[in-house]
Amino acid sequence: MADRLPIIAGNWKMHRDHLEAIQLVQKLAYHLEGDDYAGQEVVLCPPFIALRSIQTLIQSDGLPMKLGAQTCHHEDEGAFTGEISVPMLERLDVEYVLAGHSERRAMFGETDEVVNAKVQAIRSHGLRPILCVGESLEQREAGRAEDVVTEQLRGSLAGVTVSDPHDLVVAYEPVWAIGTGKTATPDDAQQMCAAVRSELGSLLGQPTADQLRIQYGGSVKPGNIRALMAEPDVDGVLVGGASLSSEDFALIVAHRRERG
């Protein structure tokens, strides 16, 4: 099996102001030991307004955590009131940017075309997209889950080339499992992540696809992390709700610890 560095990311969505954000990171760091970070990446995606505070905290305390943003605009600058560009994120040491999260697709009209422009912008500045794809319950029940995800991957990655497989992460997030408490079974997660990898093979070449990291997201908790991470094509998780609890997110990050 390819040697893929696991990646555990927390998407805080529109939760926590910059002061609460500092507290959350401090508590998380308190719960984690050096070994917990080893051999995997831990990424925090707070609201934009907390990026600067967390950047400072990570630097001053030497925390082995990386910064991610929840979205971006595809232009570098301009008259786009309320938007944040990739170069602005770069200045804050942001390494990862979510693109195409299902909430942005559903509530902010992000089409595959828009997501594609964002992925290209993120890559053009050397940051790493975490491209989110996933089917709705209706689409799953109609037996279309793989087709939907394939179409999202093709649209969102059109014209994208990847020379270093570390530079693109895909998060498979079934919409029906996000924030609902319903998790895909490890078997379902594996089947879909394998389908994602196979499509990535067609788009980017099999050697690259074998090295790319694919996350599962959707109601990941301390109680299901181990089973999900045991699946061969699940290289990490994207965590929403549980990333807002320092205890729970620490247990997710530290899932390899012996429990006794």
Q: How many helices and strands in the chain, by DSSP H and E?
A: 12, 8
One of 7, 8, 11, 133 touching ligand PEP (CB under 6 A): 11
Q: What's the min distance (Å) between Cβ of 205 and ligand PEP? A: 28
Looking at residues 228 to 247 of the shown chain, list those that interact with ligand PEP (rule: CB under 6 A).
238-242
CB closer to ligand PEP out of 204 and 241: 241
Contact call for residue 173 and ligand PEP (CB under 6 A): yes
Binding region for ligand PEP (CB under 6 A) out of 15-23, 171-179, 195-203, 222-230:
171-179
Q: How far is CA 132 from the centre of its chain?
A: 7
Strands 169-172 and 66-69: unpaired
Nearest Cα residue to 103 out of 51, 175, 10, 193 = 175
Q: What's the min distance (Å) between Cβ of 226 and ligand PEP? A: 16
CB closer to ligand PEP out of 173 and 188: 173
Contacts of 49-52 spanning 24+ positions with Cβ under 8 A: 49/17, 49/18, 50/12, 50/16, 50/17, 50/18, 50/21, 50/22, 51/89, 51/92, 51/94, 52/18, 52/92
With the CA atoms of 207, 212, 216 and 217 taken in that order, what torsion angle do they form, in degrees rounded to the nearest 10?
-150
Residue 15 a catalytic site member: no
Residue 255 a catalytic site member: no
CB closer to ligand PEP out of 165 and 240: 240
Contact call for residue 152 and ligand PEP (CB under 6 A): no
Q: What's the min distance (Å) between Cβ of 153 and ligand PEP? A: 17
CB closer to ligand PEP out of 134 and 211: 134
The residues carrying an active-site annotation are: 101, 173
Residues that bind ligand PEP (CB under 6 A): 11, 173, 178-179, 217-220, 238-242
